[in-house]
Amino acid sequence: MKPALIVHGGAWDIPDEAVEACKSGCHAALAAGWSILHRGGSALDAVEAAIIVLEDNPVFDAGYGAHLNFDGRVECDAIVMNGATLRAGAAATLQRIKNPIQLARKILEHCPHMMLVAEGAERFAKAQGIQLCKLEDLVSEAEATNKEPSAPSPSMQTEVYSPPLPPAALVANFPAASAIPLSSAAAATPTPKPAVSPAPATAKPS
């Protein structure tokens, strides 16, 4: 089986002026992951590298530049799964982790639990050598101009708390990456806490 890598920037109605930034961001993430697979690297390394690129790019709703929660803070989740073992590592409600996917990987490989959240997750991150950042380090200039999120409308509240689709279907709205090298498979996704996600275009290797 030949290795394959798919980078999914999310699904939304991308404004015309943002299309190229979304495409180039997906291709940059694809290139980062594909270079690892091309050298014979693992699927986990490839998807982690791809997700880090997405998290660092403010055009995506993941990591730096993600939408703010109702307290005006970036708050992110991440999960990674090893397809060979079906084990997963996840972290949620993170506010001081620049690249949540790195913590999810640490939880997968070095924690007896599948998921850690909030301050406990951040304490584990420090113990694993992941540096904590300041809250403001994750807020992009674009998000800073809208630092007082408005309350959701009644229709949005219905969409957030009573989605018409099963939760598994909603995951596809967020950036993600999956890879299949010769011997194993892996998948990962970084997700922001706000329920409405601006998520860019997708890219695949040819």
Reading the chain (206 residues) residue by residue, the pLDDT tens digits are: 788 899 988 777 888 988 999 999 999 999 999 999 999 999 999 999 999 999 999 999 889 999 898 899 999 999 999 988 999 999 999 999 999 999 999 999 999 999 999 999 999 999 999 999 999 999 999 888 875 544 444 444 433 333 333 333 333 345 776 766 544 567 777 766 433 333 333 333 33
Provide the residue type at 177 as one letter: A
Q: For residues 74 and 65, give the distance between their C-alpha atoms in angstroms, rounded to a whole number.
A: 8
CA–CA distances in Å: residue 169 to residues 13, 52, 146, 165: 17, 23, 29, 6
Q: In angstroms, rounded to a whole number, what is the distance separating the alpha carbons of residues 46 and 176?
A: 12
Q: How far is CA 149 from the centre of its chain?
A: 21
Amino acid at 104: A
Q: In whole angstroms, what is the distance from residue 163 CA to residue 205 CA? A: 33
pTM for the complete prediction? 0.77
Exposure letters 142-177 (e unless 16+ CB within 10 A, then b): ebeeeeeeeebeeeeeeeeeeeeeeeeeeeebbbbb
- The helix or strand, by DSSP H or E, that contains position 176, with its residue range, turns out to be strand 176-180
Amino acid identity at 49: A
Can you tell me whether residue 145 is helix, strand or coil?
A: coil
What pLDDT is stored for residue 43 in this prediction? 92
